[in-house]
A and B are shown apart, each in its own frame.
Chain A
Amino acid sequence: MSLFTAIRETYTGFKSLLTGMRITGREAMRPVITVQYPRETLPMPARFRGHIKLVLDPETGRPRCTACTLCAKACPSGCIELDGIKREGDKKKSVSRYELDFTKCSLCGSCVEVCPSEAIDFSKDYNVVSLSRDTFAQMDLYAKVEAEAADWARLHPPPAVAEASADASTAAAPAVANPAATGRATP
């Protein structure tokens, strides 16, 4: 190796070191991207697949599920069990019990795909944890959706009786929904 090659190699090597320093220096100036987890969380992406959940109809405040049991039939692991009843004033059946065995579920999404009324969706829950197996072996999705329905009912209080009689068509839906939402103790 001639002297000039040696000098040139040393020079280019040193320059590459400075380039590295420049890169780390630049990164140090950029903002911190750590999410302080228990205090901050990232929004889950739209296609994230958590355990399934029952979808609330945003207009009536009731679960969309009609208890047709197609999801239970479509499930390859047989992890869905549900019952439906015909409630007073309703034309169709609606769900009254919905249990998911999440220990068997492989999140394949067949139930979501097969549902004719788009009543099942993937939830965005990822930090589910429990000390008991039953929490996952018998996941009570109906209780969860009823809790959501109760929240919905609180946010949408029934209009006053005078208004209800004045406009029967819009008042009809909440008037039916709310007794059912509060009366979920009765099967």
Chain B
Amino acid sequence: MTTFLSLEPIRVLLYLVGICAFVGGNAAYLVLAERKGAGRIQRRPGPNEAGWAGVLQPLADGLKLLAKQVLVPPGSDSLLYRIAPLMVMAPPLMCLVTIPFGDTVVARNLDIGLLFVFAFGSINVMALMLGGWASRNKYSIMSSARVVSQNVAYEIPMLLVVITLLMMTGTMDLQEITAQQSGGFWNWNIIRGIWDFKAGHIGANLLMPVTFVIFFTCMLAETNRAPFDMAEAESELVAGAFTEYGGMGFGVFFMAEYANIVVGCSVATVLFFGGWQSPVGFLSGGLWGVGWFLLKAYALIFTVIWVRWTFPRTQFYNLLNLSWKILIPVSLFTLMLTGVLIKVPQWLHHLR
């Protein structure tokens, strides 16, 4: 049995099915979680008619969307219009290939895993832009323009933050980054940046919590989540890039939003919260690791939902101001600080 499972084609097939099921299940049930969360915050019960406490609601929504016709509006670029939903769904699926869910549970561990995730993560924007462009609808095109300028603005601080982390970890291998954070929550990057308990000296980035907040903010902006959901500002742009999409075309865009959140929160878990490492130092092998990883990732996903139902949508110029005037300078400063904190002790060591 084990030899059969370790056969490469079987392994690839299993991971492919597993990732698709994970993404699909997450997309379906995060929508329910979102609606339930919104309900609780507004002191409503949320969907509660389909099945016990509404557990069958995603099924009902999915069937409704599947039963609807996919209309291609006249005058639109029908090829791009049809490709856009595929392109929006593919990147998060690709990203999940290299996310380490446990010490052995990873589809393909790449030594440039982090670069891979961010390279594919950026394609998401292209897909939204294409969808908006191909729709031949003024709202969709405005939404496309917003998506591009927003993502250009937020990609910069995000990557600066990631560079800060790379300087600290010295590797892009996500398993390696996770392995460095073993032994308990005080060794997670978010605390290791302030004080390195393993080495017993000051950490590489004293502003690590700030760095995490920047990363989280950028993740919200990159995944077009409230309060940065300018691409889908329904009070201004109907539904932004998805205005003309109906049926499962819209459904795929919707699923991709949640898939992107899952990917973003998984990456944040690996980079800042020790991935599948246990917070107490033991119980971190095998399925325990997967459990810890999912626990941390879902805590972050819950925070994303919580943020959405707390803050109103920002104005577009405020959104850009936040990035260019605050996030980029601060992340540049943390980058510089990290450089100093890594290099100066080495230099002092050489002097001695």
Check if A21 sits within 8 Å of B43, measured CB to CB: no
Taking CB atoms, residues of chain A closer than 8 Å to B40 are 27-28, 32
| 4 extra A-B contacts, CB within 8 A, seeds A27-B40, A32-B44 | A17-B311, A24-B41, A32-B45, A34-B44
- Whether A21 and B213, one on each chain, are in contact in the complex, defined by CB atoms closer than 8 angstroms, is no
Chain A residues proximal to chain B, CB less than 8 Å? 6, 10, 14, 17, 20-21, 23-25, 27-28, 30-34
CB atoms of A28 and B213 under 8 A apart: no
By the criterion of a CB under 8 Å from any partner CB, how many residues of chain B are at the interface? 16
11 contacts between A and B (CB under 8 A): A10-B326, A10-B330, A14-B213, A21-B307, A21-B310, A23-B310, A28-B37, A28-B306, A32-B40, A32-B44, A34-B44
Which of the residues A14, A20, A30 comes within 8 Å of B43, measured between beta carbons?
Answer: A30
Closest A residue, CB atoms, query B311: A20
**A36, chain B: closest CB distance, angstroms:** 8
Q: State whether the Cβ of B309 lies closer than 8 Å to any Cβ in chain A.
A: yes
User: Which residues does chain A contribute within 8 Å of B311, judged by CB atoms?
Assistant: 17, 20
Cβ A34 vs Cβ B307 within 8 A: no
Which residue of the partner chain, among B41, B307, B326, contacts A28 with CB atoms under 8 Å?
B41
CA distance A34 to B309 in the complex (A): 18
Partner of A33, one of B41, B43, B330: B43
B interface residues (Cβ-Cβ under 8 A, vs A): 37, 39-45, 213, 306-307, 309-311, 326, 330
Say whether B43 contacts A27, CB under 8 Å. yes
When chains A and B are docked, how far (Å) is the Cα of A20 from the Cα of B44?
19
Tell me the bound Cα distance from A138 to B28 in angstroms.
53
Most buried by A among B310, B311, B326: B310
Taking CB atoms, residues of chain B closer than 8 Å to A25 are 306
| Residue from the list B39, B42, B310 in contact with A20, Cβ < 8 A | B310
- Kindly provide the distance from the CB of B258 to the nearest chain A CB, expressed in whole angstroms: 20
Contacts of B39 in A (CB 8 A): 32
Complex interface: chain B residues within 8 A of A24 (CB): 41, 306, 309-310
Q: How far is the CB of A37 from chain B (nearest CB, A)?
A: 13
Contact of A21 among B37, B44, B45, B306 (CB under 8 A): B306
Q: Which of A17, A24, A33 has the most CB of B within 10 A?
A: A24
Q: Which residue of chain A lies nearest to B43 when distances are taken between CB atoms in the complex?
A: A33
Instruction: Find chain B residues with CB under 8 A from A17 CB.
Output: 311
The 6 A-B pairs of least Cβ separation, nearest first, read: A28-B40, A24-B310, A24-B41, A28-B41, A32-B45, A20-B310
Once the chains bind, are A27 and B41 in contact (CB under 8 Å)? yes
**CA–CA, A139 to B42, complex, Å?**
41
Complex CA–CA separation, A25 to B326 (angstroms): 27
Chain A: minimal CB distance from B49 (Å) = 10
Complex-state Cα separation, A27 to B306, whole angstroms = 11
Contacting residues, chain A, for B37 (C-beta < 8 A): 28
- Which of A6, A28, A30, A34 contacts B45 (CB under 8 A)? A34
Residues of chain B within 8 A (CB-CB) of A20 are 310-311
A118 to chain B, nearest CB (A): 41
Chain A residues contacting B42 (CB-CB under 8 Å) are 27
- In the complex, the chain B residue whose C-beta lies closest to that of A27 is B41
Task: Tell me how far the C-beta of A160 lies from the nearest C-beta in chain B, rounded to whole angstroms.
Answer: 53
- Bound together, the chains give a CA A88 to CA B67 distance in angstroms of 70
Closest chain-A Cβ to B32's Cβ sits at a distance in Å of 16
Closest to B329 in A: A6
Within the complex, the shortest CB–CB distance from A44 to chain B, in Å, comes to: 22
Which residues of the partner chain A approach B43 to less than 8 Å between Cβ atoms?
Answer: 27, 30-34
- CA–CA, A50 and B124, complex, Å: 57
Q: A6 — which chain B residues lie within 8 A by C-beta?
A: 326
Residues of A near B307 (CB, < 8 A) are 21
Which residue of chain A is the closest to B42 with respect to CB atoms?
A27
Write the chain A residue with the least CB distance to B330: A10
A21 to B96, CA, bound (A): 29
Q: For A31, what are the chain B residues with a Cβ–Cβ distance below 8 Å? A: 43
- Among B43, B306, B309, chain A packs the most CB atoms within 10 A around the CB of B43
Q: How far is B42's CA from A27's CA once the two chains are assembled, in angstroms?
A: 7
**Most chain B CB within a 10 A radius of its CB, from A17, A27, A28:** A28
A17 to B40, CA, bound (A): 19
Find chain A residues with CB under 8 A from B330 CB: 10
Q: Which residues of B contact A32 (CB under 8 A)?
A: 39-40, 43-45
Smallest Cβ-Cβ distance to A33: which chain B residue: B43
CB of B311 to closest CB in A, whole Å = 6
Q: Which chain B residues lie closer than 8 Å to A28 at the CB level? A: 37, 40-41, 306
Residue of B nearest to A22 (CB): B310
Cβ contacts under 8 Å, B213 to chain A: 14
